[in-house]
């Protein structure tokens, strides 16, 4: 049986043993080596050629961010999953690592967790990501549906080769757009950076769900705010959604859009996770349809799982437009692929073309059809 070869990098002996034990329990994963810092990891990547690397953030000699940069500079393209702490400092460092070329991240168990709880939490977060980002060689189907950490990130979906073929909808008829709603998960921070950084000041608000824990979403919003003319905020309860601004759902809260007294208003909801996620893209899209009906443009970017598929269906039935990121430019073509293969996408576009598609759809009185697959 083919297995995914993983290198575990962490300066803590306890953490290395914990991660190795968790991964070794899965017959689809083979831990081929461990390293205590980034410098040792770089040598072992050359020696062992793993399929994927788990990487601690803070380490002596060469930390995780530096190691990721060195990997990418040397041409190593293996997925890297950062192992982070759920703190302001951990969030900032993790986002730095993602910007440097890391693929995804998981957060470490809390210090009060028992060993059994820690093992279960690491398994629930790490195994599905490994199998989605680096499926066992040979193309067999991988199934690992699990509960995500604190219900804020998406679970893995079955990864099957070859991938289903998208079913593109005809171009949506011309309609007014009063709101742009964006959803993303794995690979989303970098995708959102490119999208938001390329957007002009739009005459409508933009609302965003990125599967992330609470501290991380605040840091993400602050970073996105520095990239271009669009002002970006972490959404607050009762906040009026203004044109030219973007609002990121806070971690562990659903972002619901409501129409009240002639204005679009953000409502933060503590309801149960949807698709194992809170915030959930489906919750955002369905509430946006309730608020503006078909005067909506939905964008689904890279991510594991199928969050956004049901919401995209609601957008289509209401008369709105749905654009998704294509497979070649997605880190994981789970969420956008689920929408496209279900037949709810009007356009499947490379990441670099989505900002222009959003701008033209929102601002042009009459727009050319965007329905195509690239």
Domains of the chain from N-terminus onward: 4-135 (3.40.50.2300), 179-363 (3.40.50.180)
At residue 164, the pLDDT reads 67
Q: What phi and psi, each to the nearest 5 degrees, are found at residue 364?
A: -80, 135
Residue 265: exposed, middle, or buried by beta-carbon count in 10 A (0-12, 13-18, 19+)? middle
Q: Which residues contact 299 (CB under 8 A, 6 or more apart)?
A: 180, 181, 182, 183, 195, 322, 323, 324, 325, 354, 358
Q: Taking all residues of the chain, what is their mean pLDDT, rounded to a whole number? A: 89
Q: Can you list the alpha helix ranges (DSSP code H) found in the chain?
A: 13-24, 38-48, 64-73, 88-100, 115-133, 188-198, 214-225, 281-292, 309-318, 335-341, 351-363
Rounded average pLDDT over 120-132: 92
pLDDT computed for residue 86 by the predictor = 79
Instruction: Tell me the percentage of the chain whose pLDDT exceeds 70.
Output: 89
- CA pair distance 152, 280, nearest whole angstrom: 8
Q: Does residue 77 register a pLDDT over 90? A: yes
Q: How far, in Å, CA of 38 to CA of 44, rounded? A: 10
Distance, CA of 155 to CA of 186 (rounded, Å)? 10
The residue among 2, 105, 5, 1 whose CA lies nearest residue 51 is: 5
87-116 tens-digit pLDDT: 888 899 999 999 999 999 998 887 666 888
Is 116 within 8 Å of 100 (Cβ atoms)? no
Phi, psi (5° rounding) for residue 322? -125, 125
Model pLDDT, residue 374? 45
For every residue of 211-267, DSSP letters joined together read ---HHHHHHHHHHHHTSSSSEEEE--TT-B--TTEEEEPPTTSEEEEEEETTEEEEE
pLDDT at 365 over 50: no
pLDDT tens-digit map of 174-211: 789 999 999 999 999 999 999 999 999 999 999 999 99
d(CA 41, CA 263): 53
Q: For residue 43, count other CB atoms closer than 10 A to its CB.
A: 10
Active site residues: 185, 211, 307
pLDDT digits (tens, 9 = 90+) for 136-181: 876 443 433 333 333 334 443 444 445 567 777 777 667 899 999 9
Written as six digits, the tokens of 268 are 């933060």
pTM of the predicted structure, to 2 decimals = 0.88
Give 115-124 pLDDT, tens digit per residue.
888 889 889 9
CA–CA gap between residue 185 and residue 210 (Å, rounded): 5
Give mean pLDDT, residues 266-281.
Answer: 96
Higher-pLDDT residue of 166 and 60 is 60
User: Looking at the predicted structure, is the pLDDT value of residue 328 above 50?
Assistant: yes
Phi, psi of 321 (to 5 degrees): -115, 140
Residue count (the chain): 374
CA 365 to chain centre: 32
The distance of Cα 244 from the centroid of its chain, to the nearest Å, equals 23
Q: What is the pLDDT of residue 1?
A: 76
C-alpha 270/C-alpha 279 separation (Å) is: 9
Read off the pLDDT of each residue in 215-222 and give the average, rounded to a whole number.
96
Task: Answer yes or no: are the C-beta atoms of 268 and 217 closer than 8 Å.
Answer: no
pLDDT of 360 strictly over 60: yes
Nearest to 204 by CA among 288, 260, 269: 288
């Amino acid at each position: 049986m083919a297995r995914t070869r993983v290198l575990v990098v962490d300066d803590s002996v306890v953490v290395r043993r914990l991660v190795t034990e968790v991964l070794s329990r899965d017959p689809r994963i083979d831990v081929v080596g461990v390293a205590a810092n980034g410098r040792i990891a770089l040598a072992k990547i050359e020696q062992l050629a793993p399929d994927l690397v788990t990487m601690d953030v803070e380490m002596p000699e060469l930390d995780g961010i530096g190691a990721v940069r060195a990997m990418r500079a040397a041409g190593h393209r293996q997925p890297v999953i950062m192992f982070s702490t759920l703190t302001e400092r951990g969030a900032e460092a993790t986002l730095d690592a993602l910007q440097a070329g890391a693929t995804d991240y998981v957060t470490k168990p809390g210090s009060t967790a028992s060993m059994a709880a820690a093992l279960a939490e690491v398994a629930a977060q790490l195994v599905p990501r490994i199998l989605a980002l680096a499926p066992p060689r040979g193309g067999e189907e991988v199934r690992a549906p699990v509960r995500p950490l604190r219900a804020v990130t998406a679970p893995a979906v079955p990864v099957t080769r070859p991938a289903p073929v998208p079913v593109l909808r005809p171009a949506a008829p011309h309609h007014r757009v009063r709101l742009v709603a964006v959803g993303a998960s794995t690979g989303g921070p970098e995708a959102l950076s490119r999208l938001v950084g390329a957007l002009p000041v739009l005459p409508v608000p933009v609302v965003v769900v990125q599967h992330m824990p609470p501290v991380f979403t605040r840091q993400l919003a602050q970073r996105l705010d520095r990239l271009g003319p669009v002002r970006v905020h972490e959404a607050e309860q009762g906040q009026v959604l203004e044109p030219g601004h973007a609002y990121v759902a806070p971690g562990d809260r659903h972002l619901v859009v409501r129409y009240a007294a002639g204005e679009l208003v953000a409502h933060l909801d503590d309801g149960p996770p949807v698709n194992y996620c809170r915030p959930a893209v489906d919750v955002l899209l369905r509430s946006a349809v309730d608020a503006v009906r078909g005067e909506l443009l939905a964008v689904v970017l890279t991510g594991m799982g199928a969050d956004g598929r049901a919401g995209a269906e609601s957008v289509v039935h209401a008369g709105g437009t749905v654009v998704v990121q294509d497979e070649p430019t997605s880190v994981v073509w789970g969420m956008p692929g689920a929408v496209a293969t279900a037949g709810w996408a009007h356009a499947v576009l490379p990441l670099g073309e989505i900002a222009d598609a959003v701008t033209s759809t929102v601002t042009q009185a009459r727009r050319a059809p965007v329905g195509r697959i690239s």
